[in-house]
Amino acid sequence: MRTLRQRHAVTELLESVDIRIDGDRPWDIRVHDPRFFDRVLAEGALGFGESYMDGWWDCAALDQCLERIFRARLDQMARRNRELMLLALKARLTNRQSRRRAFEVGRRHYDIGNDLYRAMLDPWLQYTCAYWGEGDDLAAAQERKLELICRKLQLEPGMKVLDLGCGWGGFAAYAARRHGVQVLGVTVAEQQVKLGRELWRDDAVELRLCDYREVDGVFDRVVAIGLLEHVGYKNYRTFFQVVHDRLAPDGVALVHTIGGNRSMRHANPWIDRYIFPNGMLPSITQVGAATENLLVIEDLHNIGPHYDPTLMAWHRRFEAAWPSLRDRYGERFRRMWNFYLLSCAGGFRARNTQLWQFVLTRLGRPQPDCRVC
């Protein structure tokens, strides 16, 4: 009887956003294990994602299914479940993005295998939102993003650039090759440094394994592409203080980050457990407070709609490469990675999440020309 009640509750909830249980449309859910209903009601987003990983349900178009859920904010239906309450408590009592914890996301996400990322990403190994133009493939769209950032930074030959959270060093190599600058990149992922040093060893690029708070020196330009999502709300001010302190008085900085529509102190519990430990998305309010009386926000550009096609391109490349990855990663990982990529695509398509590029300067500097979009 209890299972029937749980099934009815979940069925009614999903039907409110035009998702049917065992329907025949691409975004409908086919349930293989009746425990799915109780798990979703009890655990919310965590149970929804874990039960997919466990094979308890399937969906032919998971991105379309999640888009409907996000657009109606059904992902917030169990906001007071135990996992969310625990995450909120941890966020209040501890600094989950402290220097001691900073390398955890490197070990658990970015170091899982360069073979995976090389198969999924473009030649510059850009693991952030591309900037799409008509007729672009993934490689062209990522080059368009890299050039957009270089133009916003107004790079000139001989400049010294600091790349905070540099990943595999793709931006650093692009900027060095195309614009004649020297780049120091820092990341907390050991395998990123190892591969990046192999790929770009002939370029004016230095990659270091260290936390963004450990960098010294002054640079003409500072860039952070996809780092702020790992900084944590307790450290936003510290992050922007680092940007300020590393930036020359007449310099320009750019921060490229996923952002949320509301201020949060924790991430989606499934994403936190399986994809980006200790991560969280900043809001406009949080960025504004963290830069107040420290840096001038010269330009704010939202390219969030470009992330949906980026994620879908990654997913196609991942699926195409799966036969060569299967033996190392296994079927549960495949389901986890598919859920990650396609749920994020659905979130951006529903405008649940954004991608912002902030151009910043130190107080008192003349305004740079930001009309490059």
Q: Which of the residues are catalytic?
A: 344
What is each CA distance from 279 to 15, 171, 229, 368, in whole angstroms?
A: 32, 22, 6, 32
What is each CA distance from 124 to 61, 173, 176, 280, in whole angstroms?
A: 29, 8, 13, 25
CA distance 275 to 108: 8
CA distance 200 to 177: 10
Position of tokens 């020196």? 217
Contacts of residue 341, Cβ cutoff 8 Å, sequence gap at least 6? 311, 312, 314, 315, 318
Total residue length of the chain: 373
What is each CA distance from 102 to 17, 231, 289, in whole angstroms?
A: 39, 8, 23
**Of residues 160, 159, 288, 145, the one with CA closest to residue 225:** 145
**Of residues 137, 193, 210, 199, the one with CA closest to residue 174:** 199
**Of residues 175, 172, 230, the one with CA closest to residue 206:** 172
Is 250 within 8 Å of 218 (Cβ atoms)? no
The region, left, alpha or beta by phi > 0 then psi within -120 to 50, assigned to residue 364 is left
Using CB atoms within 10 Å of the CB of residue 372, give its burial: 0 to 12 exposed, 13 to 18 middle, 19+ buried: middle
Say whether 43 sits in a helix, a strand or coil: helix
**Strand partners of residue 162:** 184, 222
